[in-house]
Structure 1
């Protein structure tokens, strides 16, 4: 069976980009020229004034029917409203300031955005823009060292958001693999996965001396896949499918970190799409939505996979098939963000470059509060009021690994929680991050007592300091791998 190499889409701007801001300013300026109030325009297009206010402030983009109605009410055309240039020099300044305040550099400073009003003069706006440009320059200069991995990761996450984390080519590839071995439904068994490997021309070998820096090793010359003999039978399915995924997707040795990360996303996606087949998983989720009982636990149990894989798979299918925007996060017990995805507008912590992994999660978020709960066997539900961005609901569970405990969380905006089990929870929290007063600043009493005496040594992961040599697999000892293959040939 031959399946062509698959590709992920390139990153595109977020919906609250400069285009949305420009459109909003053009709508506001045209309304003002006609002497219309926001309420009058809202009545003309049969919408709430709050909705139009969000459009004029660049926080939402209208669908085409609303855009046509607005153009008609404003005695304009859709093309005129969608022009790229700002309607005036003043509007251009306001757009630049607003865009700067929505950027990752400004958010990383922990400052409260200013509200630009008519009373704010042009000189003040130019000064703010100039200061922001200089801060961006300093951040870029500071980050011009080995930041290839972080930049590549940021670009990859943006591409995933554009695609709603759904890739039809990978879904078809997974369906073809299952069809090739006669899969007819139910959880995908270890035997089924072994048949897939055999169909692709590979035999499985469980060994006790697998190189410590690998999860699996493929011997393409002899048609073998080596895995650790210590894997439980159920958990062996995902490593096998990830190994096969590199063959199905036509992967070659990565040339840079961007290639490596893209390949990792593809094989993880393919493994999830095989173990939770699209047709069956969508049917299960649609039935759960109809009953207003969507649950990651039910999805996990129905397909006999880990909670993390069920949560991942849910993000693949939620937007495409359930019309739900969601977010996912995996956090270490230390508070470090390990993985994250969102298309529902939640603001994850990030560095100045917009990179999420490695940032500290707010102590008040569900992903952190779950660690303090005494009941490890049931999911933890919580509503969190964000300082900017409204209220989000999350469900979270803990999973153990050799590095410690992790929380795996899935969440949605408040207006979408009606479809989920656990919506009746009374647990609620507030988050003001990145304002340090939210959860990162000690009390004045403790600060005064210990500030001059404390001298901790940071436990810096070596992976943060390692640059990627071209033509290698990050974190893998090639010498060890080649010796391993030689000894088993």
Structure 2
């Protein structure tokens, strides 16, 4: 088998080291072993692979062994620096810069080599951290959404894994308790620890060395979220995740851990039985599904997207929309016309004002679901929307289906109906001609600047996580 460039480089350095240590010039050693000095120079520079007979002659002439010459260890610090620089300058990361490599000379100091290597190490570090540009991230997110739509948002392997883990922990039915989640963690060799000083950039931190999963305080409002966070942390281990290699890998891992947590909180067998009975009764409702398993309205709506098409034969859409109308989470396989940018991304786009997802914000009673039929260029859809409020402002959760499938859902009798012609801008984006003419040149609004416009895409193997903060936290608790 031919030697690699790195192996030839190391061999060349070891031959040069033995030659110089023995006090020979290239020509002098070449004369002793029967080759020209120029040929020996090519070997020492890693440009040519010597025959075994020549290696034996060089070893004999320099008073060493062939095995010593063939060692994979650089003969000294200088050689190690030169070999590492050669390797760094041959990397794809460096070659993409279009910068010519530095030629190492005898007169170049070790300090200069160290400085050059420092630059290369920083280049490699930044390459590992800069996972994606904003456009690449959006494309990766769109590709993942389309991939999941093609399989009806259903991952049977993770469904089965969750059911096995629940059974092993003794869970037989009903809402998943914190105690059962703790048992599931123990069976994986982890202890759940609730702390007040969790790094602000991390939802949880797993200490693999000591078998601990650190979570926010158990007493925080909406503590049901702690079950999901713990399950997500366990999922990384169960699914064999490694450090993300790129942004698409990061998004895939995040989707899988969220899916696993949802499967545990709303197990497929029990959830499908509940939904099939509700469909039989023509009384499907997100709020009933939510209450039966003790989860949030959003979690119940998203879980419905995993199960509805595969088990009930019902295509559907899910939207989370913020108070400004921006779509922050989306799934659809029912043909609902949704806004998208040139990359095909829907997240961040503004939903039609006529959609129930936005109409619901104007309702006086927000404690119950809001129902609506909407005529669109893609057909008529029935939707159920629930609104809520967080520290970041208002949001709505919408689950909807094509008109023909509304018959299975509670709220199908609603008389509320709207018409949307989006993406035609005359629908809800462009003002009426008479209104635009009346106010032309007479208004000057002061725009609100969204600071996220200036925020860089989070860097790091785990985007947005502050490694210094996390490691300091682990040191405190180790």
Q: What TM-score results when the alignment is normalised by the length of structure 1?
A: 0.68
Deviation at 1:461, TM superposition (A): 4.6
| Structure-2 residue corresponding to 1:225 | 213
Q: CA deviation at 1:467?
A: 3.6
Per-residue displacement from partner, 1:428-448 (whole Å, max 9, x unpaired)?
001111112111123445534
Q: Which residue of 1 aligns with 2:180?
A: 192
Q: Report how far residue 176 of structure 1 moved.
A: 1.2
**How far is 1:414 from its partner?**
0.3
- Measured at CA, do residues 446 and 481 of structure 1 come closer, stay the same or move farther in structure 2, by a change above 3 Å? farther
- Which region of structure 1 is more displaced relative to structure 2, 329-338 or 445-454? 445-454
Offset at 1:450?
5.6
Deviations 1:239-264 (A, max 9, x none): 11111111111112212110111111
- Change in 2 beyond 3 A, CA 1:461/1:351: farther
**What is the match of residue 151 of structure 2?**
163
Q: Residue 402 of structure 2 aligns with which residue?
A: 413
- Corresponding residue pairs, total: 344
When structure 1 is superposed on structure 2, of 396-405 and 351-360 the one drifting more is: 396-405
Please say which of residues 337-346 and 448-457 is displaced more in the overlay.
Answer: 448-457
Are positions 1:425 and 2:408 aligned together? no
Deviation of 1:460 (Å)? 3.0
Cα deviation 1:154-181 (Å, max 9, x = unaligned): 1000001011000001101111110111
Contact 1:256 1:468 (8 Å CA) reproduced: no
CA–CA distance in 2 between the matches of 1:306 and 1:240?
16
Superposed counterparts of 1:454-465, under 5 Å: 454-462=444-452, 465=455
Per the alignment, in what secondary structure is the counterpart of residue 412 of structure 2? Answer: coil
Shift of 1:464: 7.4
- Deviations, residues 407-445 of structure 1 (Å, cap 9, x unaligned): 011000001111010000000001111112111123445
Alpha-carbon RMSD: 1.8
SS of 1:236's partner is: helix
Which segments of 5 or more consecutive residues in structure 1 lack a partner in the other structure? 1-143
Q: Is 1:266 matched up with 2:256?
A: yes
Residue among 358, 367, 372 paired with 1:382: 372
State the 1:146 CA deviation: 3.9
| More moved, 283-292 vs 245-254 | 245-254
**The one of 118, 125, 140 aligned to 1:152:** 140
Query: TM-score normalized by structure 2?
Result: 0.69
- The 2-side partners of 1:260 and 1:457 are apart by 34
Q: Aligned equivalents of 2:182 and 2:335: distance in 1? A: 40
- Change beyond 3 A, Cα 1:237–1:145: closer
Within-5 A mapping of 1:33-432: 146-229=134-217, 230-232=219-221, 233-386=223-376, 388-432=377-421
Q: What is the SS of the residue equivalent to 1:154?
A: helix
In structure 1, the partner of 2:65 is none
Is residue 2:431 matched to residue 1:442? yes
Give the Cα–Cα distance (whole angstroms) in 1 for the partners of residues 354 and 135 of structure 2.
30
Unaligned runs of 5+ in 2: 1-131
